[in-house]
Amino acid sequence: MDLVDLIEEKRFIGQEFLTWLWWKSEERGGVIALAAEGDIVVVFEKHMLLEYGEGESSEKLTCRGLQTELQEARTGLVMGKKLEQARIQLTHNDYEWNFTLAGSLMEFRNVKLPKTEGDTGPTNNPEEREGMVLERIFLFEQLERMVLELFRLFLQVRVGEGWREELLKVREWVNKAERV
Amino acid sequence: MGFINGTASFVRFSVEGDLPENIWDFIADRVVAFSFRDIDETYEEDSLGWVSVLNMFDTEFNYASYAAGNYVTLSMRHDERKVSSAIVKKYVQKEEERIKKEKQIPKISRTMRVEIKERIQNELMRKSLPMPAVYDLCWNLENSSLLFFSTNKKAQALLEDHFKESFGLTLMQQIPFLCGQHLLDEEDAEKLARITPDIFL
* Whether B34 and B114 share a structural domain: no
Output the pLDDT for position A157.
Answer: 94
Note whether B63 contacts A126, CB cutoff 8 Å.
yes
* Whether B174 and B140 share a structural domain: yes
Note whether A110 contacts B9, CB cutoff 8 Å.
yes
For the question of whether the overall pTM of this predicted structure is more than 0.95, the answer is no
Chain B, 161 to 190: residues with Cβ < 8 Å from chain A are 172-180, 183-184, 188
Minimum mean pLDDT range among A74-88, B84-98, B133-147:
A74-88
Which alpha helices (DSSP H) does chain B contain, by range? 23-33, 85-103, 110-127, 153-167, 176-183, 186-194
Q: For residue A158, give the nearest of B71, B73, B195 by CB distance.
A: B195
Q: For residue B4, give the nearest of A104, A136, A175 by CB distance.
A: A136
* Whether B139 and B170 share a structural domain: yes
In a domain, B162, yes or no: yes
Output the pLDDT for position A78.
Answer: 77
Q: Across residues A137-152, what is the average pLDDT?
A: 95
Model confidence band, residue B152 (pLDDT cutoffs 50, 70, 90): very high
Note whether B184 contacts A10, CB cutoff 8 Å.
no
ipTM of the complex, rounded to two decimals: 0.89
Q: Closest Cα of chain A to B101: distance in Å? A: 48
Say which residue, A129 or B45, is predicted with more confidence: B45
**Domain final position from B127, B146, B181:** B127
Note whether B71 contacts A126, CB cutoff 8 Å.
no
Angle CA B19–B13–A7, to nearest 5: 135
Half-sphere exposure of B37 (CA within 13 A, CB side): 9
pLDDT tens per residue across span A87-96: 999 999 989 9
pLDDT tens per residue across span B156-189: 999 999 999 999 999 999 999 999 999 999 999 9
* Whether B74 and B118 share a structural domain: no
In a domain, B61, yes or no: yes
Q: Across residues B128-141, what is the average pLDDT?
A: 96
Note whether A13 contacts B10, CB cutoff 8 Å.
no
Q: Which residues of B touch A141 (CB under 8 A)?
A: 140, 147
Q: Which residues of A touch B146 (CB under 8 A)?
A: none
Interchain CB contact of A168 with B (< 8 Å): no
* Whether B101 and B181 share a structural domain: no
* Whether B168 and B112 share a structural domain: no
Model confidence band, residue A155 (pLDDT cutoffs 50, 70, 90): very high
Q: Closest Cα of chain B to A115: distance in Å? A: 11
* Whether B20 and B75 share a structural domain: yes
In a domain, B154, yes or no: yes
Model confidence band, residue A54 (pLDDT cutoffs 50, 70, 90): low
Model confidence band, residue A70 (pLDDT cutoffs 50, 70, 90): low
Rounded CA separation B158/B156 (Å): 5
Number of H helices, E strands in chain A: 4, 6
Nearest to A52 by CA among A77, A72, A88: A77
Q: Is the pLDDT of residue A178 over 90?
A: no
Output the pLDDT for position A57.
Answer: 67
Output the pLDDT for position A147.
Answer: 96
Output the pLDDT for position A81.
Answer: 81
Note whether B192 contacts A6, CB cutoff 8 Å.
no
* Whether B174 and B139 share a structural domain: yes
How high is the mean pLDDT of chain A?
Answer: 85
* Whether B138 and B74 share a structural domain: yes
The H or E element that residue A170 is part of is: helix A163-179
Q: Which residues of B touch A3 (CB under 8 A)?
A: 172-173, 175
Could you list the residue range(s) of the whole structural domain that residue B173 is in? Answer: 11-81+129-194
What are the DSSP E strand ranges found in A107-175? 107-112
Note whether A140 contacts B8, CB cutoff 8 Å.
yes
Interchain CB contact of B9 with A (< 8 Å): yes
Model confidence band, residue A56 (pLDDT cutoffs 50, 70, 90): low
* Whether B151 and B55 share a structural domain: yes
Which of B54, B70, B200, B201 to probe the A interface (max A CBs under 10 A)? B200
Share of chain B above pLDDT 90, in %: 81
Note whether B7 contacts A110, CB cutoff 8 Å.
yes
User: Max Cα separation, chain B?
Assistant: 80
Spell out the domain ranges in chain A.
Answer: 3-179
CB-based contacts of B117, cutoff 8 Å, min separation 6: B88, B92
Q: Is the pLDDT of residue A36 over 90?
A: no
How high is the mean pLDDT of chain B?
Answer: 93
* Whether B147 and B64 share a structural domain: yes
What is the b/e burial string over A35-51, where b = at least 16 CB atoms within 10 angstroms of the residue's CB? eeeeebebbbebbbbbb
Q: Is the pLDDT of residue A50 over 90?
A: no
**How many distinct structural domains can be found in chain B?**
2
In a domain, B20, yes or no: yes
Q: Across residues B65-81, what is the average pLDDT?
A: 94
Amino acid identity for residue A158 in this structure: R
Interchain CB contact of A176 with B (< 8 Å): no
Model confidence band, residue A67 (pLDDT cutoffs 50, 70, 90): low
Q: Which residues of A touch B7 (CB under 8 A)?
A: 110-112
Residue A110's CB is within 10 A of a number of other CB atoms, namely 15
In a domain, B95, yes or no: yes
Note whether B180 contacts A7, CB cutoff 8 Å.
no
In a domain, B200, yes or no: no
Q: Across residues A159-178, what is the average pLDDT?
A: 87
Interchain CB contact of A170 with B (< 8 Å): yes
* Whether B32 and B66 share a structural domain: yes
